[in-house]
Amino acid sequence: MSSHDPHMEQLVAEIARRVAARLGGSAPLVTLGTAPPLRETPCQDGPSEHCTACGLCTVRRPEAVQNIVAEGASRIGSGMGTGQTPGDIAAMIDHTLLKADATSADVEKLCAEARQHRFASVCVNTGFVPLAKRLLRGSGVMVCAVVGFPLGAMAPNAKAFEAREAVRSGAEEIDMVINQGALKSRDYATVHEDIQKVVEASRPAKVKVILETGALTQEEKVIAISLSKVAGAHFVKTSTGFGPGGATVEDIALMRKLVGPDMGVKASGGVRTCEDAQKMKAAGASRIGASASVSIVKGCATPKSEDKPKHPNRPWLRQKQEPPTPRPADGKPSAY
């Protein structure tokens, strides 16, 4: 495939045009309002022809969902915006350790934590795949390996080789970094070929494409997401954790809008608390990449304490609470 295929240029231009039209031009993707979120409003419709099909039964009608599970259901569908449901968020988390100086002891600790908390996977560099696979055997926790990490500037065949070797060593998922330079050069044929070759080399493992959204314009994000879908990837992912910026609610919402329900969306980079993870989930994330996984699940498991009012029978004496001070920007997220 040539580096500047005119047919590919036309395809990408048409995709970008249609996506922009569908999203309403420059209209914001996330609208903030004063009304309470739908998930916090009890359902009054009931299981009848009047159901609005909001997809939020797990939080608006939990008793109905429990009855369905009791009858034998093993999986319950839920719509975007469900937020926190009964239970924890551990099954969404890729427990991650990608530092260059990570040791075998660090990986052993990572895998022990993943076993304990039942995370979806551990995500490691390819050199640690055999060790992680051995440590997690029988646990149900997958091994995920990064490819072309963290720059993504390698040749497509080099990435494909690395992915193939990782899968042979036991990786069940591959997180590859997109060729950012080719994307910014509008060399979409190379971007497509790069992803497609890794997808083919990784079978039967699933492939996530890391876009490094903090370094991309809105148009580049749209094109990168679309090319990932066309090339056969299974997930799109925000960040490496080593680049500028990290996961944002707006980027997750954009990804989910473009890939629909058939692909996964992974939020990574700067997700450190239960609140962060819940916001990403509500925006459409189906997987969370984090090194602070243990503190996230512990935060989700700990109910928020609410102080009892000092004057329960005399509300006019209660002090009005000041609105919380916004958390200052953390700057560049930690590199996992």
Q: Which residues, 6 or more positions from 288, have their beta carbon under 8 angstroms from its beta carbon?
A: 89, 92, 93, 94, 266, 267, 268, 271, 277, 280, 281, 296
d(CA 232, CA 238): 17
Residues 45-104: tens digit of each pLDDT: 655 545 665 656 666 666 555 555 444 443 444 443 444 443 358 999 999 999 999 999
Judge contact between 300 and 88, C-beta under 8 A: yes
More confident residue, 247 or 87: 247
Residues 172-181: tens digit of each pLDDT: 999 999 999 9
CATH 3.40.1360.10 holds for 6-23+89-301: no
- Give the pLDDT band (50/70/90) at residue 334: low
In the chain, what percentage of residues exceed pLDDT 70? 70
Burial of 2 from C-beta contacts in 10 A (0-12 / 13-18 / 19+): exposed
Q: Which two tokens stand for residue 190?
A: 């190379």
**Helices of type H across the chain:** 6-22, 57-60, 62-70, 104-117, 129-136, 156-169, 180-184, 188-202, 218-230, 249-259, 274-283, 293-301
Indicate the DSSP class of residue 273.
Answer: S
pLDDT higher than threshold 80 for residue 323: no
Residue 106 is a catalytic residue: no
Residues 119-142: tens digit of each pLDDT: 999 999 999 999 999 999 999 999
User: How far lies 175's CA from each of 168, 183, 199, 232, 265, in Å?
Assistant: 15, 18, 10, 14, 12
133 C-beta neighbours (distance < 10 Å), count: 19
What is the structure's pLDDT at 318? 56
Residue 266 is a catalytic residue: yes
Catalytically annotated residue among 88, 94, 133, 175: 175
Catalytically annotated residue among 133, 221, 229, 237: 237
**Which stretch of 63-77, 114-128, 220-234, 287-301 has the lowest confidence by average pLDDT?**
63-77
Q: Which residues, 6 or more positions from 19, have their beta carbon under 8 angstroms from its beta carbon?
A: 222, 226, 258
d(CA 74, CA 23): 35
- For residue 93, give the amino acid letter: I
Q: Which two tokens stand for residue 146?
A: 């990064």
Q: Which residues, 6 or more positions from 15, have their beta carbon under 8 angstroms from its beta carbon?
A: 222, 223, 226
Judge contact between 142 and 174, C-beta under 8 A: no
Cis peptide before 150 (omega within 30 of 0): yes
- Give the pLDDT band (50/70/90) at residue 15: confident
What is the structure's pLDDT at 73? 43
More confident residue, 36 or 272: 272
What is the structure's pLDDT at 302? 78
Plot region of 282 (φ>0 → left; ψ -120 to 50 → alpha; else → beta): alpha
pLDDT higher than threshold 60 for residue 19: yes
Catalytically annotated residue among 159, 197, 229, 266: 266
Mean pLDDT, range 187-194, rounded to an integer: 98
Residue 237 is a catalytic residue: yes
What is the structure's pLDDT at 335? 52
Please state whether the predicted TM-score (pTM) of the whole model is above 0.85.
Answer: no
